[in-house]
Structure 1
Amino acid sequence: MDTFDIGGELTVGRLGFGAMRITGEKIIGEPEDPEIARDVLRRAAELVDLIDTADSYGPGVSERLIGETLAPYEDVAVATKGGLLRNRDGDWLPCGDPDYLRNAVLCSLDRLRVDTIDLYQFHRPDPDVDFEDSVTALAELKDDGVIEHLGLSNVSVDQLETARDHVEIATVQNRYNVGYRDEEAVLEACESYDIGFIPWYPLAAGDLDDVAGIEDVADAHDATPQQIALAWLLERSDVMLPIPGTGSVQHLEENVAAADIELTPEEFERLS
């Protein structure tokens, strides 16, 4: 599997695992079977070396399961995010207050059972809080050594540039997949700065029917359309770091196998 150096230092395979789906329905509460979730995490740690989560997944459940199951971590980096609150209705509520973010990082450290978080990402800019204040608070935590690398999520090119005025940005996590490319400008900015681009929703929740030609390409490789969607992302850019998520060991293994699929130039262009 090809690799990428996050922040120029943290070398990871370019296909990781997203740990959102190891929680309960609507990403709230415990998974239906916690032991299956642990099996998925153990297998993920064998297959990939980047696991991505967030304090809002559960909330807290995904981080806690990762910490209980995998810590102390061997040959796997854990990325998490903060800046979104949850409620029982499943809403995602931006909260970029600097004091809240400082507290959120402390909670993530505890649940993940680490002294330093490999990659911490600001989950979403808060329209009610000055963006620079949020970024500065996290930059200070990076200076304090509790965050190794700092990333952003759901940001514009202008917000990325603003953040880079205050601190080195290692990754950006925005929505992007073979059928949704509205974040093309952000991806291109990341390519310019050698910043890792982590596409969330990389499989469009399996809804790829509108992607012309993907079934034919999948048949040619004896693969699933989801595997082809991941292979296309890996081909699209050298800074692309997909983190498909699942609550199934079988689906996890199928996703990781996509890293071995080599699309022809004609197949890539057909899907582009």
Structure 2
Amino acid sequence: MTTNATTTTTLDPAAAGTWRLGDRTVNRLGFGAMRLIGTLGAPAPRSRADGLAVLRRAVELGVNHIDTAAFYFLPTRSANELISTALQPYADDLVITTKIGAARSRDGAFEPYARPDQLRSHVEENIRQLGLDQLDVVNLRWGTGLAPEPGSIAEHVGALAELRDAGLVRHIGVSNVLPEQLDEALEITPVVCVQNRYGLTERDDDGLLDRCGELGIAFVPFFSVGASVPGAIPGATRADDRGRTAVEAVAAAHEATPAQVRLAWTLHRGRHVLAIPGTGSLGHLEENVAAAALQLEDDDLTVLDGIGRAAS
């Protein structure tokens, strides 16, 4: 393990480089809006004003890729509404990625998965909430669970391609999918990104990540930090005590936090890998952004890769 500390004081999302989502260029360190509403055990900002402040600070720091969805809401707040209020008029380089397919009722329960003919209403809901004429990137989010579900996605992808041809969508992605489902989608339309659960101790999609790199498709992990934190995600794999100790040792060597190490490891998995950590805290936002500049040494990566493979 390296003993040369690499401090994480640089606040520049571009420090990890950029990637193209179709004809849009984004910094590889982005922002996920889900935690603005405090779901899945993550605390919400103390107030709506805090959520607005986090979004404005993210863009001020140079974040130009924000992931959201109309179903990111609680009775007291909506991620899309916060984005719209905080960031309009939108910067020309800001790319907002949304997800459709899954939907929730106003009481928070997930509704039955959308039929292909219902996807237009999902797209239009996001357009209306965000105050846009066209969505930059729309991911077909398959299934309502936290793990990929089998089944053909062809009809849904075809319906989304029709919405793109109608001018409502700029680019198409897929989320929570199996490798064969990505192949199925690619037979219908270009795909700019795959968004699946993945992290240091969630390595089931190693092969899919590599295939996306070969195809020039962005791989965008969700829960890349949370899945490695005990209790953060129900049913997620936990790193063992040896693994946590090793992550903490790498973090100490770089004067970083374990969460920053996990983010840096994720970004080191390939130039096509984009990180979208979310938070409702200004302090944690800056820590996440600083992870873009954290350079892990070969010895660090060897240790961390070993943890992940042992835990998966």
* Pairwise TM-score range, normalised by the shorter structure: over 0.9
Q: Greater CA deviation, 154-163 or 180-189? A: 180-189
In structure 2, the CA distance between the partners of 1:176 and 1:18, relative to structure 1 (3 Å rule), is: same
Alignment match, 1:166: 188
1:104 equivalent in alignment to 2:88: no
Listed as ranges, the gaps of 5+ residues in structure 2 are 1-14, 231-238, 306-312
Alignment RMSD (CA, Å): 2.3
1:25-104 alignment, distance < 5 Å: 33-47=47-61, 48-58=63-73, 61-74=78-91, 75-87=93-105, 90-93=108-111, 95-104=113-122
Q: Kindly tell me the number of residue pairs found equivalent between the two proteins.
A: 270
Inter-partner Cα distance in structure 2 for 1:175 and 1:129: 18
Code of the residue aligned with 2:209 in structure 1: it is L
2: CA distance between counterparts of 1:63 and 1:160? 27
User: What is the deviation of 1:131?
Assistant: 1.6
How far is the alpha carbon of 1:185 from its aligned partner?
1.9
What TM-score, normalized to structure 1? 0.92
**Counterpart residue number, 1:271:** 304
Measured in 2, the distance between the counterparts of 1:38 and 1:205 equals 26
CA drift at 1:78? 0.7
Distance in 2 between residues matched to 1:206 and 1:271, nearest whole Å? 12
- Relative distance call for 1:159 and 1:72 in structure 2 (3 A) is same
Q: TM-score w.r.t. structure 2 length? A: 0.81
Q: Report what 2:263 is aligned to.
A: 230
Residues 199-223 of structure 1, C-alpha deviations (whole Å, 9 max, x = no match) = 0001025617533511110000000
The alpha-carbon deviation at position 64 of structure 1 amounts to: 1.5
Cα distance in 2 for partners of 1:129, 1:270 equals: 37
Alpha-carbon shift at residue 140 of structure 1 (Å): 0.6
1:72 deviation in Å? 2.1
1:81 is paired with a residue of what secondary structure? strand
Partner of 2:153: 131
1:125–1:189 Cα change, 3 Å: farther
Q: 2: CA distance between counterparts of 1:93 and 1:123?
A: 14
| Compared CA separation, residues 26 and 231, structure 1 to 2 (3 A) | closer
Decide whether aligned partners of structure 1 residues 92 and 220 sit closer, same or farther in structure 2, where only a CA change above 3 A counts.
farther
Query: More relative contact order in 1 or in 2 (CA 8 Å, sep 6+)?
Result: 2
Secondary structure of residue in 2 paired with 1:175: coil
Between stretches 204-213 and 96-105, larger displacement belongs to: 204-213
- Share of identical aligned residues, percent? 41
